[in-house]
């Protein structure tokens, strides 16, 4: 079980004086993600999506309001909620396989099992042959795949993803989206996870999600919550898909330009 609840969550980043004003990133955000549900968060750049995810992961504390996972207050990071970061956040001094194994060591998985899990996840993201490379020797898309493999390797209860496919080329993006689709279509409760995805792609959100949360411009508030009830696998050409895409596009475009 791993249901998520945001309840009246606001986040104010205090400024440090002249030229560095305080920023209210999020205001009174409330929504829930059910156990094993896939929820996407959409909104303009700077509306607080990454901030929302960092608070759910436990890296940042809300200024007010609460975040609960299974009724327990989030107050620190744990492998149970693993994150695919927007900027990969790989350890530059570790190889691909060491980066992927990192969380498993924290979780005290025995060595032999660790190796098997690392191998399986390297195959999953198609990085065979690059196990001994360091992050600076990889392309942006490959780094992102290491980051996805690392997050999946610990078998988290909640998987948090911040634009995980943004740096991939079209072919790899659709491969990884299908892979995600496979994981979440699985009937095996061992495999299904609660997922929260931040994305700029309306198509990606509809393709993968049970629910889409649209945020306003900063300070981010919940503008709309939409259930995606289309059968899987989904196709962009389905009429229901196109209809929903237009609705979400209207909601996002409907947000006024910020005042200057």
Ligand X SMILES: Nc1ncnc2c1ncn2[C@@H]1O[C@H](COP(=O)(O)OP(=O)(O)OP(=O)(O)O)[C@@H](O)[C@H]1O
Distance CA 93, CA 187 (A): 38
- Which is nearer to ligand X, 208 or 215 (by Cβ)? 215
Under rule CB under 6 A, residue 223 binds ligand X: no
CB 140 within 8 A of CB 167: yes
- State the number of binding residues for ligand X (CB under 6 A): 13
How, if at all, do strands 211-215 and 194-198 pair?
unpaired
CB 10 within 8 A of CB 27: yes
Kindly report whether the peptide bond that precedes residue 219 is cis, defined as omega within 30 degrees of 0.
yes
Tell which residue, 7, 4, 85, has the closest CA to residue 49: 85
Three-state DSSP state, 86: coil
Say which entry of Mg ion, ligand X, none residue 13 contacts (CB below 5 to 8 A, set by partner kind).
Answer: ligand X
Residues 56-115 that bind Mg ion (CB under 5 A): 86
Q: Which of 10, 36, 40, 50 binds Mg ion (CB under 5 A)?
A: 50
Q: Give min distance, CB of 25 to ligand X, in A.
A: 4
CB 7 within 8 A of CB 22: no
- Which is nearer to ligand X, 33 or 104 (by Cβ)? 33
Stretch that binds ligand X, among 44-52, 115-123, 126-134, 205-213 (CB under 6 A): 44-52
**Per-residue binder mask for ligand X (CB under 6 A), 3-22, x = binder:** ----------x---------
Say which entry of Mg ion, ligand X, none residue 177 contacts (CB below 5 to 8 A, set by partner kind).
Answer: none
Q: What angle do CA 233, 236, 237 make, to 5 degrees?
A: 110
From the DSSP assignment, how many helices (H) and strands (E) are in the chain?
A: 7, 10
Say which entry of Mg ion, ligand X, none residue 58 contacts (CB below 5 to 8 A, set by partner kind).
Answer: none
First to last CA, the chain: 45
Q: Give min distance, CB of 219 to ligand X, in A.
A: 8
Stretch that binds ligand X, among 43-51, 71-79, 92-100, 237-245 (CB under 6 A): 43-51
Distance CA 200, CA 208 (A): 13
Stretch that binds ligand X, among 40-48, 99-107, 168-176, 235-243 (CB under 6 A): 40-48
- Which is nearer to Mg ion, 95 or 216 (by Cβ)? 216
Q: Which of 3, 23, 68, 230 binds ligand X (CB under 6 A)?
A: 23
Under rule CB under 6 A, residue 147 binds ligand X: no
Q: Quick one: tokens of 231?
A: 């059968």
Under rule CB under 6 A, residue 59 binds ligand X: no
Question: Which value, to the nearest 10 degrees, does the dihedral of the CA atoms of residues 40, 44, 49, 51 take?
Answer: 180
Under rule CB under 5 A, residue 40 binds Mg ion: no
Interacting residues with ligand X (CB under 6 A): 13, 23, 25, 43, 45-51, 86, 218
């Amino acid at each position: 079980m791993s249901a998520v609840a945001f309840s009246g969550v606001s986040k104010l980043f205090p400024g440090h004086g002249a030229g560095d004003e305080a920023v209210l990133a999020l205001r009174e955000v409330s929504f829930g993600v059910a156990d094993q549900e896939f929820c996407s968060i959409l909104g303009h750049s700077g509306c607080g999506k990454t901030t929302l995810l960092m608070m759910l992961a436990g890296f940042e504390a809300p200024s007010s309001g609460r975040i609960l996972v299974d009724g327990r207050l989030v107050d620190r990071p744990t492998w149970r909620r693993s994150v695919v970061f927007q900027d990969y956040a790989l350890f530059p001094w570790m190889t691909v396989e060491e980066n992927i194994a990192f969380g498993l060591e924290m979780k005290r998985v025995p060595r032999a099992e660790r190796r098997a899990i690392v191998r399986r996840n390297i195959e999953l993201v198609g990085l065979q042959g690059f196990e001994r490379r360091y992050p600076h020797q990889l392309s942006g898309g490959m780094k992102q795949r290491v980051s996805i493999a690392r997050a999946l390797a610990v078998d988290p209860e909640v998987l948090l993803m911040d634009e995980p496919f943004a740096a991939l080329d079209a072919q790899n993006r659709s491969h990884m989206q299908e892979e995600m689709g496979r994981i979440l279509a699985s009937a095996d409760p061992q495999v299904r996870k609660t997922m929260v995805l931040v994305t700029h792609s309306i198509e990606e959100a509809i393709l993968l999600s049970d629910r889409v949360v649209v945020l306003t411009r900063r300070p981010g508030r919940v503008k709309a919550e939409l259930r995606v009830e289309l059968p899987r696998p989904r196709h962009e050409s389905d009429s229901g898909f196109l209809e929903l895409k237009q609705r979400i596009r209207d909601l996002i475009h409907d947000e006024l330009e910020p005042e200057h």
